[in-house]
Amino acid sequence: MNSADPGIDTIGAEHRLSGKVAVVTGASRGIGEACARVLDAAGARVVLTGRTTSDLQRVAAGLRHDPVVVTADLAPAGAGTDLARRILDQVDRVDVLVNNAGIPMRRTPAQLTEADLDLVFSINVRSLAMLSIALAPSMIAGGGGSVINISSVAGVHGPLGRVAYAGTKGAVDAMTRALAADWGPQGIRVNSVAPGLIATAIWEEARSTVPGLIEDLAGQIALKRWGLSDDVADVVLFFASDASRYVTGETLVVDGGMARVAASSSPPALPELET
Ligand SMILES: NC(=O)c1ccc[n+]([C@@H]2O[C@H](COP(=O)([O-])OP(=O)(O)OC[C@H]3O[C@@H](n4cnc5c(N)ncnc54)[C@H](OP(=O)(O)O)[C@@H]3O)[C@@H](O)[C@H]2O)c1
């Protein structure tokens, strides 16, 4: 075992990220925190970003490969480009970008305002695109890279009361395919991961306002449990690493089979087949 990297020899060779720099947005908790931990365990130096410095520092304190904290709010105009500049002030290369920061937006169509739409699109879409575009030259200079966008099953299906949120996540998957086409010749792969129901702080409001929701939803999942942040982070590691070297422009749903249950329960039950 390499004494400097006690966890790395448990990771398959194709998943190792030694010498790579990985940026994770929204790294202060939930899925982003899990991604930061998994990428660090694979040997990457992780740049953690989010709005709350103390939370980012708490996560960074548990990492072993000289992590960097860059505090930033991704809502204002210009935030994605500005964050890229501040990241490149601190590290000399970027190989992996995990665009994870995002906010939910639960509103009926009648409740939805233009300000709501502007806010959720500014964080979930605009900054994601501009940060990616501003970091791409660094990846190209290093011979290529991997961008992983965290979208959602909400962008694939039509969830009630999620017009704006679903719109942002559908946009993320569409941009994933378009950027993969643009950047493929320069060696940058772009994929998205679409989580289903993952137990994080993002569900706290729904848990308190809709009694029984959490338990009801678990029954609709083939694997009969909510996902954990690590369930998503392990798929992110696959896309970050050489194990996915011939995969780009794809969206991988990580939902415990929830979409399959929904699809198989919609048609009327078939009669028994006669043999
Ligand atoms: N949990 C699920 O069930 C689920 C399902 C599908 C998709 N997703 C997606 O997965 C991603 C992570 O979700 P999560 O459940 O881990 O959420 P979470 O626990 O609420 O974490 C969100 C992260 O984004 C950061 N963030 C929020 N607003 C920001 C802003 N304006 N500027 C910069 N950073 C900001 C937060 O840090 P600060 O508050 O400190 O800024 C935090 O680190 C999101 O894109 C979400 O849409 C989640």
How many CB atoms within 10 Å of residue 215? 9
Sort residue 269 into left (φ over 0), alpha (ψ -120 to 50) or beta. beta
| Averaged pLDDT, 253-259 | 95
The pLDDT tens digits for 33-74 are 999 999 999 999 999 999 999 999 999 999 999 999 999 999
Q: By alpha-carbon position, which residue is closest to atom 46 of ligand 1?
A: 102
CA of 50 to the centre of ligand 1 (A): 9
Mean pLDDT in residue range 114-118: 98
Residue nearest to atom 2 of ligand 1 (CA): 198
Its pTM surpasses 0.85: yes
- Say if ligand 1 is within 6 A of residue 206 CB: no
What's the pLDDT at 2?
A: 45
Residue 14 is predicted with a pLDDT of: 77
Domains and CATH numbers, the chain: 8-197+227-256 (3.40.50.720)
Show the tokens assigned to 225. Answer: 């449990």
Distance CA 107, CA 37 (A): 33
**pLDDT at position 114, please?**
98
Angle at 179 between CA 13 and CA 129, to 5 degrees: 100
Q: Which of 25, 31, 152 to mutate to test the pocket of ligand 1 (most atoms within 8 A of CB)?
A: 31
Predicted local confidence at residue 130, as pLDDT: 99
Burial 145-159 (b: 16+ CB within 10 A, else e): bbbbbbbbbbbbbee
Ligand 1 atom nearest to CA at 75:
31
pLDDT(83) > 50: yes
Ligand 1: nearest atom to the Cα of 79: 32
Q: Is 2 in the pocket of ligand 1 (CB under 6 A)?
A: no
Q: Is 161 within 8 Å of 209 (Cβ atoms)?
A: no
pLDDT tens digits for range 187-222: 999 999 999 999 998 887 777 888 887 788 888 999
Contact 101, 49 (CB under 8 A): yes
Answer whether 155 contacts ligand 1 (Cβ < 6 A).
Answer: no
Average pLDDT over the chain, rounded to whole? 92
